[in-house]
Amino acid sequence: MSFRLDKIVVFGVGLIGGSFALALKKAGAVGQVVGIGRSQATLDEALRLGIIDRIGACDAATLGNADLVLLATPVGQMPALMQAMAPHLGPKTVVTDGGSTKGDVAAAVCQHLPQHLSRFVPAHPIAGAENSGAAAAKADLYAERKVVLTPLKENAPEAVERVRAAWAACGATVHEMAPSRHDQVFAAVSHLPHLLSFALVRDLAQRENREEFFRFAASGFRDFTRIAASHPEMWRDICIANKAALLGELEQYQRQLEELRQALLAGDAAALEAVFAEARTVRRAWAEGKLS
């Protein structure tokens, strides 16, 4: 018997939520997709694009008989959404989210959905992009991507299984981690690089003669700063939600930079080359799949 959900509800029909809906539809794994969101224009667009079948509201009619609810908003909005949905969730509805931080989501679930601890399974699809909005959604966004589930100890096994099966139907490979470990790892490999990329573009943007700088920026700059075009509100929320781990990573990186600055100041060519060579070796091994 193949996996199928009769009805799902997606809060936030942008890149993450919209692509989840499209992927499940493409897989024939969902009957009806109902969208909820802050922006009527985005909901209308999602409807027009066939991402959702209808627009719902945060009420019992929409939520009471849903098989799965996905929160796909910036993480800063999730506590208020959980409060709003708490009275309307049906006893069989499983809830998950697509937030890039998990400790804060787990804490919010404990606070705002204490009656639903067995059926809220926090998750993080590793499929960001610098584009956002319903128009950016695509059915194959999650194909061969990773999704990390960070189940709560109170989660019912069948709830975890439903979320896992939904992501598998989207083409993703599903991993499990503890929320705190998740947040530590992603502070290092995702949140910090975003911060660094934003900082570089902002640094240049504030130059008086910035046009001359940007005129000669080439492919290295283009790739380094692609993520600096990411969604400001989403990344603001991620930074605040994962503040402790991100601060630790940022401070370690600052020490790393200071070490490089000292080597540069001293004209220590050998020290610089050793750092670059180590980075190149490891970066190449990673790209060749030899590190992970």
> And the tokens for 44?
């209308």
Residues 23, 83 contacting (CB under 8 angstroms)? no
221 DSSP 8-state letter: H
Q: Which parts of 212-241 interact with its own copies (CB under 8 A)?
A: 212-233, 235-237, 239-240
Q: Least distance (Å) from its own copies to the CB of residue 1?
A: 32
Neighbours of 6 (CB within 10 A): 11
CB of 85 to its own copies, least distance (A): 24
Per CB under 8 A, the list member of 41, 61, 110, 205 interacting with its own copies is: 205
Candidate ranges 4-12, 42-50, 56-64, 142-150; the one touching its own copies (CB under 8 A): 142-150
The label of the residue with tokens 């109902």 reads 34
For the bound state, the minimum distance from the C-beta of residue 76 to its own copies, rounded and expressed in Å, comes to: 8
The span of 15-23, 79-87, 112-120, 259-267 binding its own copies (CB under 8 A) equals: 259-267
Q: Residue 92, SS3?
A: coil
Does residue 60 interact with its own copies by CB under 8 A? no
Q: Interaction with its own copies in 71-130: which residues (CB under 8 A)?
A: 76, 126-129
Question: And the tokens for 256?
Answer: 């790393």
Tell me the CB-side half-sphere exposure of residue 47, using CA atoms within 13 A.
Answer: 14
Site for its own copies in 145-204 (CB under 8 A): 145-146, 148, 175, 185-186, 188-190, 192-204
Residue 280 contacts its own copies per CB under 8 A: yes
CB of 193 to its own copies, least distance (A): 4
The sheet carrying 5-11 orders its strands as 54-55, 30-36, 5-11, 68-71, 94-97, 120-121
Joined together, the tokens standing for residue 196 give 């660094």
Using CB under 8 A, which of the segments 2-10, 37-45, 107-115, 265-273 binds its own copies? 265-273
Of the candidates 196, 263, 250, 264, which has an alpha carbon nearest to the alpha carbon of residue 228? 196
Minimum distance from CB of 164 to its own copies (Å)? 17
- β-strand partners of 121: 96
Check residue 38 for interaction with its own copies (CB under 8 A).
no
